[in-house]
Structure formats: structure tokens, C-alpha cells
Amino acid sequence: MRIIKTIKALRLCLAGFRRKGKTIGFVPTMGYFHKGHISLMKASKKANDITVVSLFVNPLQFGPREDLAKYPRDFKRDSLMAKEAGVDILFCPSPREMYPGSLLTRISVAEMSQGLCGASRPGHFEGVATVVGKLLNIVQPDVMCLGQKDAQQVAVLKKMVLDLNFPLKLNVVPTVREPDGLAMSSRNVYLSPSERKEAPAIYRALKAARVLILSGELDATKINSKIKKLILEGTSASIEYISCVDPDSLKAVRRIKLPVMVAVAVRFSAARLIDNIVVTRSIGSP
Ligand code: PAF
């Protein structure tokens, strides 16, 4: 595995692969790898000759009171895990390399960035879209792999790719969960031991919502109240949002029509966790 820190060196290296007709898969990350990241790397490897993983904690997507300074970082462990997963190139630029001067250009995927997580994280998705837009211009991959756990990020980036004609395919990889159902996230380390025990209630509530929807409950308000009750009963967390939305437009629905995405964000003392399920099929199908 090559570790590359500059845009110039990465472009030079990738030009060589492209000349040989190799396809390039890309996984953008902020590091502190877990099995969710590894499944993205494996998905990229399966479908491409060369896999590039970027590791960059992007200051542009953190609000002034968010966790940029304490965001978990462990470069040594990350590079070992990426190497073991068979990654070909780990691109880890410095903030100066990515943002050398004042940045006057931003990518804003307008109203899709404002609801759900965007409501409490103003500017977050503009920061994500801008850095991913830059990374796509640097790497120019054939395929980009993203995780379904960050569903709003997926929808925003899908629209950006479509609107701005980025010539690539998006591969959305299912959420990887701990054995008790908690969605894997780098921010799970912020949970206290007792909160960690409570956190699987989030996915249990989402699964209960799926059962309700598939047994005929189509009133989104009732679904949302049921999830709220289950999460509040099972945890010490507070709820930031629960919403039944169209999976592509992210518009909230009142009357459920499949497919529907049920998305939640909850806050524990130091951790803000998000999760979602997309309900598409009847009970009993795989
Ligand atoms: O999902 C993440 O880790 C980040 O939002 C991303 C896509 C790498 C952009 O910084």
C-alpha cells in the first residue's frame, strides 16, 4: 500500500494506472476505521483494479462548537487496517494541502442539506459536498463507495454527482452493525459504558417501525411516536429528530408509501448518533 500526502504525487501515480487501463475505486473517509469502513474498502476492491482511500478530517464540515479537535484519530492503526484490507493507495493530505488559501468556492446541494441532520448542523453538508467534490476532481475515480448509515450524505452526494456531471458510479454499501445492532461509527467511542449498553435501542426501535409499516400502519406521525417512545424508554438519550422521508428527495412524508426511509438522530451526553432503515419489502423476505 502506498501512503501519499500530496495531490501532485497522487495524480502522477493514478495517471500511471489509468494509462494501463486500470479502473479506480474511491472511498472517502475521515479515518478511525471500523468494520463499516473496511466493508467500503472491500466493496471498492471487488469492483475495481485499484482502490484509493482518502483519510482527511475535513475542517469545513464541522461547526464551531463541534468535535473537530477531539475527533478520534489513529493514523498508525488506520494505515495497518487499510493495508490489511488490500487498499492500494491511502491518500492523507494535510489541511494545508487541501485548503492552501482562502476557499471562495463551495458546493451547496440546497434544500436537501437543510432538513434532518442539516437542521442542527448548518453548513455541514456544504462542507461535505465541497470536500468530496475536490476529492473527486483529484482522484477522478470510476466508482465511489459510500455507507448507507450516512443516508443524508449519500442523498446529497448522489444529487451533486448528478447535477455536476461527475463521471462516476456511486456504490452505496449497507450499514455494518455491532452484534447487538448498534450501527458502527467512529463516534461510538464517545459513549459511556452505560450509554453503550443502551444505544442498541435505536436500531430495535427502527426495526419495530419496519414491522409496523409492513403490517399496514401508514401514518408517519404514529410511526414517529412509536419510535420516540421506544428510544426514550430504553435510553437516557434525547431525540434530535425522527422522520419518515422519501429516500431520494429526503422530503418528509405524512402518509407512507414504499420505499420509505425512517431516519433518527439521538444525543447521548457526548455522542450524537444517527441511524436509518429503508423499508421496501414485506415481512419474511430476506
Ligand atoms: O463520511 C465521512 O467520513 C465524511 O463526511 C466524508 C465523506 C469523508 C467527507 O469528509
> pLDDT digits over 175-224, tens only?
999 999 999 999 999 999 999 999 999 999 999 999 999 999 999 999 99
| Catalytic option among 4, 27, 33, 37 | 37
Q: Which CATH architecture has domain 186-279?
A: 2-Layer Sandwich (3.30)
Start and end residues for every CATH 3.30.1300.10 domain found in the chain = 186-279
- pLDDT value of position 281: 74
Name the residue of 26, 27, 30, 171 whose CB sits within 8 Å of the most ligand 1 atoms, as the mutation to test its pocket.
Answer: 30
Does the pLDDT at position 61 exceed 80?
yes
Question: How far apart, in whole angstroms, are the C-alpha atoms of residue 42 and residue 85?
Answer: 7
How many other C-beta atoms can be found within 10 angstroms of the C-beta atom of residue 181?
15
Question: How far apart, in whole angstroms, are the C-alpha atoms of residue 85 and residue 69?
Answer: 28
Q: Is the beta carbon of 132 within 6 A of some atom in ligand 1?
A: yes
Q: Is the beta carbon of 36 within 6 A of some atom in ligand 1?
A: no
pTM assigned to the model: 0.96
β-pairing verdict for 169-173 and 143-147: parallel
- Taking the alpha carbons at both ends of the chain, their separation in whole angstroms is 37
Q: Which three cell numbers stand for residue 34?
A: 471500523
> Atom 5, ligand 1: which residue's CA is nearest?
128
Q: Is the beta carbon of 126 within 6 A of some atom in ligand 1?
A: no
pLDDT digits (tens, 9 = 90+) for 110-126: 999 999 999 999 999 99
124 is catalytic: no
Strand ordering across the sheet containing 143-147: 2-4, 89-91, 50-55, 24-29, 143-147, 169-173
CB 120 within 8 Å of CB 146: no
Q: Which three cell numbers stand for residue 59?
A: 475542517
Start and end residues for every CATH 3.40.50.620 domain found in the chain = 2-173
Degrees, nearest 5: CA angle 279-284-286: 70
Question: 3-class DSSP state for residue 6?
Answer: coil
- Return the ligand 1 atom nearest residue 57 CA: 10
Q: Is the beta carbon of 128 within 6 A of some atom in ligand 1?
A: yes
Does the pLDDT at position 1 exceed 90?
yes
Name the residue of 29, 41, 184 whose CB sits within 8 Å of the most ligand 1 atoms, as the mutation to test its pocket.
Answer: 29
pLDDT digits (tens, 9 = 90+) for 137-155: 999 999 999 999 999 999 9
- pLDDT value of position 286: 40
Band of the pLDDT at 47, cuts 50, 70, 90? very high
Q: Is the beta carbon of 244 within 6 A of some atom in ligand 1?
A: no
- What's the topology of domain 2-173? Rossmann fold (3.40.50)
Burial environment of residue 254 by CB neighbours within 10 A (0 to 12, 13 to 18, 19 or more): exposed
Band of the pLDDT at 238, cuts 50, 70, 90? very high
Comparing C-alpha atoms, which of 31, 82, 66, 71 is closest to residue 187? 71
What phi and psi, each to the nearest 5 degrees, are found at residue 270?
-115, 0
Does the pLDDT at position 80 exceed 50?
yes
Q: Is the beta carbon of 43 within 6 A of some atom in ligand 1?
A: no
Tell me the mean pLDDT in the region 22-32: 98
Name the residue of 34, 52, 58 whose CB sits within 8 Å of the most ligand 1 atoms, as the mutation to test its pocket.
Answer: 58
Band of the pLDDT at 86, cuts 50, 70, 90? very high
Q: Tell me the CA–centroid distance for residue 55 and ligand 1, in Å.
A: 9
- pLDDT value of position 282: 57
Tell me the mean pLDDT in the region 69-73: 97
